[in-house]
Copies of this chain bind each other. A is one copy, B any other.
Amino acid sequence: MALMLKDIYTRLLERGHKLTPQRWAIIAIFLMNRGRHLSADDVFAMLRETHPNNGIATVYRTLELLEEIDVLKKLDFGDGRARYEVRDDDNHHHHHLVCQQCGKITEFEDDLLIALEAAIHKKTGFQITEHVAKFYGVCAECQQKAENG
């Protein structure tokens, strides 16, 4: 099921953290932008609109905290900055398709990697806890543009 505010609140309190206005605002930004992959600077810019005197350091700390309590998932698309997305219980196995033309990032659901993980464990004894899979190429739209151009 989708992650709710109540869950986040509970997780924070369980670990002895406070629900400050800054954290509240940053959580809201992510909940209002589900499906997007926000960088610290993206969040900072959005936060500034409503909280003009928030510091960037707080954004970084909050992102780190939200990752620790499994609210956010840290992503790396190789563009030199970390990005984050909401980690719902039901989005556990989607992969990212990065278009090298327009930079757009789409998602793809598939559990084929589970089979691969099983094969790896069988052959090497390696116990996998997490995987990262990214695919680089050209999205359907950019292919069409290239044909028509």
Binding site for B on A (CB under 8 A): 76, 78, 95, 97, 99-100, 106, 108, 110, 112-113, 115-117, 119-120, 123-140, 143
Knowing A97-B120, A108-B124, A125-B143, say if A133 contacts B132 (CB, 8 Å): yes
Collect the chain B residues with CB atoms within 8 Å of residue A116's CB: 95, 110, 112-113, 133
Give the 6 A-B CB pairs with smallest separation, nearest first: A125-B140, A128-B137, A129-B137, A130-B136, A112-B116, A132-B134
- The answer to whether B136 touches A132, judged by C-beta atoms less than 8 angstroms apart, is yes
- How far is it, in angstroms, between the C-alpha of A113 and the C-alpha of B95 when the chains are bound? 12
- The answer to whether A136 touches B129, judged by C-beta atoms less than 8 angstroms apart, is yes
